[in-house]
Chain A
Amino acid sequence: MSTAWRIGVDSRRCIGTSICAGTAPEHFHLVGDRSAPLADVVAPADVILDAADSCPVEAITVRDAADERLIAPQD
């Protein structure tokens, strides 16, 4: 079981819809017209997976902070 996740937002893919910031405002915010995580390494929370899975351009990745295993998005 992961004890920490690393959130990544690919700013080249991000189109700034703010779906993530609306879904998980405690983890994402818009900087200018692009999303960014408020903190890169965070405690696991389902709402982060909701945000990653809801991104239309799959700009958000969630990885296990210890071993870089991809947690979201998944098929």
Chain B
Amino acid sequence: MTESAQTTGSRVVPPARQYPFSVPDRLVVDPTYGELRDNEPMTRVKLPYGEEAWLASRYEDVRTVLGDVRFGRAPAVQRDEPRLTARQQDSGMLTLDPPDHTRLRRLVAKAFTARRVEALRPRTQEIADGLVDDMVRLGPPADLVEHVATPLPIQVICELLGVPYADRDLFHTWSEAIVSTTSLPMETIQEYLNNLWGYIGDLVSVRRREPGIDDLLAALVRARDENQDRLSETELVELAGGLLAAGHETTVTQIPNFVYVLLQNPDQLARLRADPSLVPAAVEELLRYVPLGVGSSFARYAKEDVEVGGVLVRAGEPVLGSLSSANRDGTVFADPDRLDLGREQNPHLGFGHGVHHCVGAQLARMELQVAVATLVTRLPGLRLAVPEAELKWKRGMLVRGLLGMPVAW
């Protein structure tokens, strides 16, 4: 604790640190998290926008903040919530608590269960093989982001939702608005979101005119039309648009991140090549190891006084839980900063935790397994075609990732 710390009742409130702690550097986890886990597991942070918050950095505390029903997201819309973006989200599943949240989540969750997603695996493999075929035909060097990582998740989500793949350039551009912090001006973010909602609105109209269409979007339209209380028209459009945009942005980013980490860890890559049955465990380990987020967002608000990490969080206070930090907690993961594709116990928080655990987690997991397996087995000589220092990384986004990844094989 520092000298300027204030004591409020039975607790000490340290002065707030600026957050994120540093400008994101590739996929490096800021060492501050490790220091905090050891010495100050609950600290105060100030994000670029919004009110001060607590930040939990230990695994168990992060799980409590995200999973305990004494914390909620709904109060955030009434508050100046701590955030990385100028714009504050005022609707959508991430602004709701049960039972309102359940009403929306249940409608989409059924489409993303492990069983439903497994049925999409053969088609996903077919798409991945086709994309790798095309890239090989083109010859090295080729951009892995453009030729494999971007089209694969987009084509899968298009087919699942029922969005025309031919329109991909349009909505891929608009989707950046969902993950942008400063990469786009505010007006452009709003314009892109409006375009995205308008585009989905048109697809919804088509499904009302043509009831024979059978896809996830049609199922959502039916859910709305059968019972207007279940889903408002705005919710329907934002839910579908959110699935399209948020869903593919993350997986598009993680495929090159995973390949990058594997190339940085040649012993682990060799291990995977020697034994492709390690792919599912490897994907879990990569989900743990890669800090996808630039910083924590979507603070949970305490609904009553709750003790977390030795600190009394008062009712009404926001708490952020760092997934990247939790995933490097040495009390849960032995040798946490080492990539170990054979890790047996891997209860990582890469998809979050609690009622807002990524609804598309099973789909993302399957796509990542297909992508990693296909690249590793079909391109045994896969390597960067430029020096690592020349790779360009995203800036001004909620997620960390490569803008391009020139590779040879």
Q: Is the CB of A57 within 8 A of B355?
A: no
CB proximity to B under 8 Å, residues A24-60? 25, 30, 33, 47, 50, 53-58
Give chain A residues whose Cβ lies under 8 Å from the Cβ of B355. 17-19, 22-23
As a 0/1 sequence over residues 54 to 75 of chain A, the CB contacts with chain B under 8 angstroms (1 = contact) are: 1111100000000000000100
**Selected contact of B102 from candidates A15, A30, A50, CB within 8 Å:** A50
Contacts A17-B354, A30-B67, A57-B362: A47 and B112 contacting too (C-beta < 8 A)?
no
- Docked Cα-Cα span, A30 to B354, in Å, equals 11
Determine the chain A residues whose CB is within 8 A of the CB of B101 once the complex forms.
22
Q: How far is the CB of B56 from chain A (nearest CB, A)?
A: 16
> Knowing A22-B98, A25-B69, A50-B102 touch, does A57 contact B357 (C-beta < 8 A)?
no
In the bound assembly, the distance between CA atoms of A19 and B354 in angstroms comes to 5
**Interface presence of B347 (CB below 8 A):** yes
Q: Is A21 an interface residue (CB 8 A)?
A: yes
The answer on a CB contact under 8 Å between B102 and A23 is yes
Q: Could you tell me the distance between the alpha carbons of A30 and B99 in the complex, rounded to whole angstroms?
A: 18
Is B137 interfacial (CB 8 A cutoff)? Answer: no
* With A17-B353, A17-B357: A56-B347 Cβ-Cβ less than 8 Å: no
Check if B113 sits within 8 Å of A56, measured CB to CB: yes
A26 to chain B, nearest CB (A): 11
A8 sits at the interface (CB 8 A)? no
Given A19-B354, A21-B69, check contact A56 B98 (CB 8 Å). no
Find the B residue at minimum CB distance from A49: B106
Q: Which residue of B lies closest to A13 (CB)?
A: B114
Chain A positions within 8 Å of B97 at CB level? 22
Name the prevailing secondary structure of the B interface residues. helix
Residues of B near A55 (CB, < 8 A) are 109, 113
CA distance A33 to B60 in the complex (A): 10
Expressed in whole angstroms, the Cα–Cα distance for A18 and B68 within the complex equals: 8
Residue B361 CB within 8 A of the other chain? yes
- The CA of A22 and the CA of B361, in the complex, are separated in Å by 18
Interface string of B342-384 (1 = CB under 8 A from A): 0000010000011101010110000000000000000000000
Whether A50 pairs with B67 at a CB distance below 8 angstroms is no
The answer to whether A22 touches B69, judged by C-beta atoms less than 8 angstroms apart, is yes
Alpha-carbon distance A40/B112, docked complex (angstroms): 26
Check A56 against B359 for contact (C-beta < 8 Å): yes
B362 lies within 8 A of A47 (CB) = no
B109 near A53 with CB under 8 A, answer: yes
Structural contact, B102 and A57, CB atoms closer than 8 A: no
1/0 per position for B77-110, CB-CB distance to A under 8 A?
A: 0000000000000000000011101100110011
Given that A22-B98, A22-B354 are known contacts, is A16 also in contact with B347, CB under 8 Å in the complex?
A: yes
Chain A residue nearest to B115 (CB atoms) is A58
Min CB gap B231→A, angstroms: 14
Residues of A close to B112: CB separation below 8 A: 56
A53 to chain B: which residues have CB within 8 Å? 106, 109-110
Chain A neighbourhood of B362, CB < 8 A = 56-57
A30 to B353, CA, bound (A): 13
Which residue on B lies nearest to A54, using beta carbons? B109
Bound: A30/B357 CA distance, A: 15
B17 to chain A, nearest CB (A): 29
A residues near B, CB below 8 A? 15-19, 21-23, 25, 30, 33, 47, 50, 53-58, 73
Q: Can you list 17 A-B contacts with CB-CB less than 8 angstroms, sorted by A residue number?
A: A17-B353, A18-B353, A19-B105, A19-B354, A21-B69, A22-B97, A22-B98, A22-B101, A25-B69, A47-B99, A47-B102, A55-B109, A56-B109, A56-B114, A56-B357, A56-B362, A58-B113
Q: Ordered nearest first, which 6 A-B pairs have the shortest CB separation? A: A22-B355, A17-B357, A18-B67, A54-B109, A23-B102, A50-B102
